[in-house]
Chains A and B, each alone.
Chain A
Amino acid sequence: MNPWPIVRAFLVRHRWAALAFVFLVAAGVSLAVALISQERALRTGSARAADRFDLIVAAPGSQTDVLLTAVFLRPGTTKLLQPEVTVRLLNDKRAAFVAPIGFGDSHRGAPIVGTTSQLVTHLSNELQEGRVFARREEAVVGAASPMKVGETFQPTHGIPRDGNPEEDADPHEHGAMITVVGRMKPTGSPWDSAIMVPVELVWQLHSLPDGHEEGSEAVGPPFDQAWTPGVPAAVVRPTTIAAAYQLRNAYTTNESMAFFPAEALTRLYSVMGDLRQLMSLLAIVTQALVLMAIMMGVLLLFRFLVPQLITLRALGAPRLFIAAIAWGFTATLVLAGVLLGLGAGYGLSYGVSQWLAADTGVELTPTLASSEYLIAASILATGWILALLPAYVVQRRSLAISLAES
């Protein structure tokens, strides 16, 4: 038996209702798929962005806040490490390098990060263009920065918060003229749109001791104990894994906290995962309700098809053929909805990723993986099983009574 030509004809006849059903299923599937895909994209994107930050040391407080400030360059109010702790850390022999991070300035919305050339080289592997800064009035820009090597600019005091100039803290230009001397390779992190300068320049612009004895124009380590201010955070590259744990223990004190970014991210992922599970559950429950509503809708729709169905029965079609038509009709709607939902879900996830990437600088690459296919397959299977309901009801109709009624 082959009910598909009849199914196709009925789909054409009720194309608008069928389209509405397909869009309903697609909407539910796409939300569920986008949610899971986006959560994974966020997880992998943020993990990739934080991958090269081995250990972070900051003043005691929220690890998440420090992570967002130091790795994701989100404006925040983190306390400063005490100068003594900073100096001790900067000169710690267990680290291959310790890069202080200083903030406070920006240029055309891009944050200016004061650090050392070692961190710039470490984050970028090798530069895409030019060289690292060797003087205080030199800068290296991220891969996505619109600035060109050789371009000069004056830093503006203050960092725009989410693009709201009202929240800029005392915006005014510093007098220094900085020249871009290099461009980093893409890192997939907010550092791609940032401007990196020697940390000494940031200290100097903010009238702080600049890490070296008075009058010195030196850049980078070693830093002078007597002339080093506190910093919001420092990125530590330990020499060995053992050293990493030693450093974390050594700087987890009342005066400082040290953590692996992965630790803080894992806690964030845990919250995100719980949220995802809750949202997924809600999406599935909603989808089940949508499917039930569609089954009822299909039953109503098939009332309009009774003359055709009883004609088929009168021509000798067995009940199974009628059931197959009703099942095939509903199953096709669900299948089309699920396939469309998978595509739309990916599209939605891609759109959200683009928006988030533009907003945060974290490169997000949405993908469809087994969990999305699994949820789509679950909805499809549920829909196909529920499609047996209208199939059963439609085939039960008495031929003689239906013919008499029609």
Chain B
Amino acid sequence: MNPHDAEVGLSVFQLGVSFCDATGDRFNALSGITAQFKPGQVTAIVGPSGSGKTTLLHCIAGILVPSSGETRHGGVIVSSLGESARDTWRRHNCGMVFQDFRLIDELTVLENVTTPALFGHYRVPSILRDRARTLIRDFGLPERSIPTSRLSRGERQRVALARALLMDPAIILADEPTASLDRTTAASVAGTLEALATQGKAVVCVTHDDLLVSRAHEVIALKAGRMGPPAVDQFPGLRAGDLA
């Protein structure tokens, strides 16, 4: 099925990305990737280091423009937008979460969560401020004005998740969201991502974590920039029929 037949949701079609290496030779970081990231599902992108997982995530986010193929969201061909339009699209449609949280430690929890609102407003609109407070409360984070540097790693990742959700995006993109967390905290974050999918969001995670993979509705396995079957023994929790 051509995923573009479905005019809703996020998809990539025949996506290819090539880079020049240090010697000036071109190599394909991704080639021929076609996939659909459905609302209400968690999709895990797995593969060994250097297989192109993060490159794919960046293409989905509109950070990277593919050399061939396209990224589409609803009726919008994201990959053909200009940089400024892609920034705006990402701001309103994507929530990004990183392995190392990437919070601004000197800001409070509330200030970190409301950061994306500063890109388009001088004052954070009250509706977004209220939403930030709700997210903070829902994630069980402290409401006091303390810098995020004083929070635990699990709490900081939840702050990053709350920040990603501020603009109520349809897509959550997470790059190794559980990699730097202990098992209990990782399970909690994985549960949160699953819950977000339940709310109708398309959740895409680049991960090496079998815990997260085991909760994914779909798994995209990459090897040398191409899609292929995952090494099942590497992910014992992988469910049969999960492969995209």
Chain B residue numbers with a CB within 8 Å of A319 are: 83-84, 87
Q: B106 in the interface, Cβ–Cβ < 8 Å?
A: yes
Chain B residue numbers with a CB within 8 Å of A311 are: 96, 98, 102
Q: B179 in the interface, Cβ–Cβ < 8 Å?
A: no
Q: B68 in the interface, Cβ–Cβ < 8 Å?
A: no
Q: Specify which of A8, A312, A400, A404 is in contact with B115 (CB 8 Å cutoff).
A: A312
Within A388-403, the residues touching B (CB, 8 Å) are 399-400, 403
Q: Specify which of B63, B98, B123 is in contact with A400 (CB 8 Å cutoff).
A: B63
Given contact pairs A6-B118, A9-B107, A318-B84, A400 touches B102 in the complex (Cβ within 8 A): no
Contact A2–B63 (Cβ < 8 Å): no
Q: A317 to B163: give the CA distance in the assembly, Å.
A: 13
Q: B231 in the interface, Cβ–Cβ < 8 Å?
A: no
Interface size on B, residues (CB 8 A): 33
Q: A67 to B61: give the CA distance in the assembly, Å.
A: 81
Q: Specify which of B63, B107, B121 is in contact with A399 (CB 8 Å cutoff).
A: B63
Chain A residue numbers with a CB within 8 Å of B96 are: 311, 314-315
Q: B223 in the interface, Cβ–Cβ < 8 Å?
A: no
Chain A residue numbers with a CB within 8 Å of B54 are: 403-404
Within A283-320, the residues touching B (CB, 8 Å) are 307-308, 311-319
Chain B residue numbers with a CB within 8 Å of A1 are: 118-122
Contact A12–B119 (Cβ < 8 Å): no
Contact A316–B88 (Cβ < 8 Å): yes
Q: B64 in the interface, Cβ–Cβ < 8 Å?
A: yes
Chain A residue numbers with a CB within 8 Å of B58 are: 400, 403
Q: B92 in the interface, Cβ–Cβ < 8 Å?
A: yes
Contact B63–A315 (Cβ < 8 Å): no
Chain B residue numbers with a CB within 8 Å of A313 are: 63, 87
Q: A5 in the interface, Cβ–Cβ < 8 Å?
A: yes
Q: Specify which of A3, A8, A316, A318 is in contact with B94 (CB 8 Å cutoff).
A: A316
Contact A3–B118 (Cβ < 8 Å): yes
Contact B105–A2 (Cβ < 8 Å): no
Q: A202 to B42: give the CA distance in the assembly, Å.
A: 107
Q: B76 in the interface, Cβ–Cβ < 8 Å?
A: no
Q: A13 in the interface, Cβ–Cβ < 8 Å?
A: yes
Q: A1 to B115: give the CA distance in the assembly, Å.
A: 11
Given contact pairs A5-B107, A9-B107, A308-B102, A314 touches B63 in the complex (Cβ within 8 A): yes
Chain B residue numbers with a CB within 8 Å of A403 are: 54, 58, 63
Q: A73 to B130: give the CA distance in the assembly, Å.
A: 75
Chain A residue numbers with a CB within 8 Å of B111 are: 5, 9
B94, B100, B106, B164 — which one has the most chain A CB atoms within 10 A of its CB?
B106
Q: B104 in the interface, Cβ–Cβ < 8 Å?
A: yes
Chain B residue numbers with a CB within 8 Å of A6 are: 104, 107, 115, 118
Q: A72 in the interface, Cβ–Cβ < 8 Å?
A: no
Q: A213 to B49: give the CA distance in the assembly, Å.
A: 116
Q: Specify which of B92, B105, B106, B122 is in contact with A316 (CB 8 Å cutoff).
A: B92
B19 CB to nearest A CB, Å: 9
Q: B91 in the interface, Cβ–Cβ < 8 Å?
A: yes
Given contact pairs A13-B105, A400-B64, A316 touches B84 in the complex (Cβ within 8 A): no
Q: A321 in the interface, Cβ–Cβ < 8 Å?
A: yes
Q: B90 in the interface, Cβ–Cβ < 8 Å?
A: yes
**Could you give, for residues 319-345 of chain A, a 1 whenever the CB lies within 8 Å of some chain B CB and a 0 otherwise?**
101000000000000000000000000
**Could you give, for residues 1-42 of chain A, a 1 whenever the CB lies within 8 Å of some chain B CB and a 0 otherwise?**
111011011101100000000000000000000000000000
Contact B87–A317 (Cβ < 8 Å): yes
Q: A400 to B104: give the CA distance in the assembly, Å.
A: 20
Q: A315 to B164: give the CA distance in the assembly, Å.
A: 8
Contact A2–B87 (Cβ < 8 Å): no
Q: B39 in the interface, Cβ–Cβ < 8 Å?
A: no
Q: B116 in the interface, Cβ–Cβ < 8 Å?
A: yes
Q: A321 to B88: give the CA distance in the assembly, Å.
A: 12
Given contact pairs A317-B87, A318-B84, A400-B58, A308 touches B119 in the complex (Cβ within 8 A): no
Chain A residue numbers with a CB within 8 Å of B102 are: 307-308, 311, 314
Contact A316–B118 (Cβ < 8 Å): no
Q: A313 to B102: give the CA distance in the assembly, Å.
A: 12
Chain A residue numbers with a CB within 8 Å of B120 are: 1
Chain A residue numbers with a CB within 8 Å of B106 are: 8-10, 12-13
Q: A1 to B122: give the CA distance in the assembly, Å.
A: 5
Can you name the residue of chain A whose Cβ is closest to the Cβ of B119? A317
A395 CB to nearest B CB, Å: 11
Chain B residue numbers with a CB within 8 Å of A8 are: 106
Chain A residue numbers with a CB within 8 Å of B87 are: 313, 316-319
Q: A318 to B106: give the CA distance in the assembly, Å.
A: 22
B residues with CB within 8 A of A: 54, 58, 61, 63-64, 83-84, 87-88, 90-92, 94, 96, 98, 100, 102, 104-107, 111, 115-116, 118-123, 163-164, 167
**A/B interface sample: 25 pairs, CB < 8 A:** A1-B118, A1-B119, A1-B120, A1-B121, A1-B122, A3-B118, A5-B107, A9-B107, A9-B111, A307-B100, A307-B102, A308-B104, A311-B98, A314-B90, A314-B98, A316-B88, A316-B116, A316-B167, A317-B116, A318-B119, A319-B83, A321-B119, A399-B63, A400-B64, A404-B54
Q: Other than A314-B90, A316-B88, A321-B119, give 15 A-B pairs with Cβ distance below 8 A.
A: A5-B118, A6-B107, A6-B115, A308-B102, A311-B96, A314-B63, A314-B102, A315-B90, A315-B164, A316-B90, A316-B91, A316-B92, A316-B116, A316-B119, A318-B84
* Complex A-B, nearest 4 residue pairs according to Cβ-Cβ distance, in ascending order: A316-B91, A311-B102, A9-B106, A400-B64
